[in-house]
Amino acid sequence: MDMDLNLIKKAGHPALIAGPCAAESREQVIRTAEALLGTPWLTAFRAGLWKPRTRPVDFEGVGEKGLPWLREVKEKTGFKLAVEIAMPAHVEACLKSGVDIVWIGARSVVNPFIVDEIARALSGSDICVMVKNPVNPDLSLWAGGIERLKKQGITNLAAVHRGFDIYHSKPYRNIPLWEIPLELKNYFPDLPVLCDPSHIGGNRKLISSISQKALDLGMDGLMIESHFDPDKALTDVAQQLSPKELKKIIAGLKIRDHQEKKVDAAIEKYRISIDELDEQLLEILSKRMELSELIGKLKKEQNLAPFQPDRWSSVLENCLKKGVSLKLDRDFINQIFNVIHKESLGRQDEIMND
Ligand code: PEP
Ligand code: MN
């Protein structure tokens, strides 16, 4: 049996887990939870107690000290509790404290030894366990993490898609690569997959559209960060929503019928990848134009003409060579780079005449 979604899902609705990125103080936890009362679909409250941070100078969470605050949330609001665990000691503390859902974070899933240790610590309990995707876009590693838990007899499982850390991920903090969670569903057809738009977007402006996309792709729920005073949050300031903003976003989401879909599933999957590549192409083009403008300013200072024939010949020659080696048509590459070059020169001309 995979995760009993009824634990966090009211019949007929996607699951919603919401709460602050990190528990910071008793007051912050209680005020946030109370403000979240009445949010559509919400039955589980999240809060990170042990925060895996890139730099040790950053706030690393309050640890076990926050567990009584969460218990108070449960008593006052009736919300189920969801906490990230990253080592066996965290598991023990959560099991003793009535936590209902634990999740293995993106930085822990990359390490099979840690996942095995956590799985052993969880073995024998029937707590819900969610496995986030690893930070790198590796479907097998994600699936492997789930298999490691199943191997220890843990069946109350779900996955959380939180996007992937790659070099060109703009406008996202972590690029969604939607085909990967969809493929995970093929591996484990009954496994609920939730989406974490907060860590995908990294910015509160993107949460609504990412959430809608996740629901349109048939994901089973959402995990969204919310803080009663988001601008003062100690972690992930840009992406946390106030409870009021969260309620508005959830109320605006549409649940569309998946049975009606006529488009072939394979076509749909490729289209998702194409849309993502187009988005990346546009981001790269925009970055390229920004660089051309910076060069344009320097050319102006140094009294150089925008068009530099030797440089352009070598750029085009390199692109043609590389393009042909990638099985792209020579004429096609020639046309594309001439258009790009024309646009760059146009921008530099404007700078010259400024
Ligand atoms: C989190 O959910 O707060 C978190 C740390 O997420 P991730 O593991 O996806 O980075
Ligand atoms: Mn966070």
Axis-axis angle for helices 265-301, 330-353 (nearest 10): 40
Final residue of a domain: which of 225, 255, 285? 255
Q: Is the model's pLDDT at 1 over the cut of 60?
A: no
Instruction: Kindly report, residue by residue over 258-317, the tens digit of the pLDDT.
Output: 765 567 888 888 999 999 999 999 999 999 999 999 999 999 999 999 999 999 999 999
Q: Could you say which ligand is closest to the alpha carbon of residue 237?
A: 2
Of 255, 277, 299, the domain-final residue: 255
Residues 161 and 286 in one domain: no
Q: Which domain holds residue 345?
A: 265-352
Residue 157 near residue 191, CB atoms below 8 Å = yes
Measured in Å, residue 152 CA sits from the centre of ligand 2 at 28
CATH of the domain at 314: 1.20.59.10
Q: Which residue from 196, 207, 234, 241 has its CB within 8 A of the most atoms of ligand 1, so it is best to mutate?
A: 196
Q: If you average pLDDT over every residue of the chain, what do you get?
A: 94
Statement to judge: residues 250 and 282 lie in one domain: no
- Mean pLDDT of the region 166-172: 90
Query: Could you give the CA distance from residue 84 to residue 71 in angstroms, rounded to a whole number?
Result: 15
Of 137, 181, 140, 126, give the one whose Cα is nearest residue 159: 181
Which residue's CA is minimally distant from atom 10 of ligand 1? 106
Quick one: 212 and 282 in the same domain?
no
User: Domain boundary at 222, 255, 288, which?
Assistant: 255
Within this chain, do residues 278 and 240 fall inside the same structural domain, yes or no? no
- Spell out the long-range contacts of 78-82 with Cβ–Cβ below 8 A and sequence spacing 24 or more: 79/33, 79/36, 79/42, 79/43, 79/44, 79/45, 80/7, 80/8, 80/43, 80/44, 80/45, 81/44, 81/45, 81/47, 82/8, 82/17, 82/19, 82/44, 82/45, 82/46, 82/47, 82/130, 82/223
- One domain, residues 58 and 176: yes
CATH number at residue 163: 3.20.20.70
* pTM for the full predicted model: 0.81
Nearest alpha carbon to residue 159 among 182, 128, 191:
191
Strands (E), 138-266: 157-161, 193-195, 221-225
Closest residue to atom 6 of ligand 1, CA basis: 105
pLDDT higher than threshold 60 for residue 167: yes
Residue 189 scores a pLDDT above 80: yes
Same domain assignment for residues 80 and 194: yes
User: Could you say which ligand is closest to the alpha carbon of residue 234?
Assistant: 2
Ligand 1 center–CA 262 separation, angstroms:
35
How many Å lie between the centroid of ligand 2 and the Cα of residue 300? 44
Write the pLDDT tens digit of every residue in 32-63.
Answer: 999 999 999 998 999 999 998 889 889 999 99
Q: How far is ligand 2, taken at its centre, from the CA of residue 225, in Å? A: 7
Q: What are the pocket residues of ligand 1 if the criterion is a CB atom closer than 6 Å to any ligand atom?
A: 21, 48, 84, 105-107, 132, 162, 199
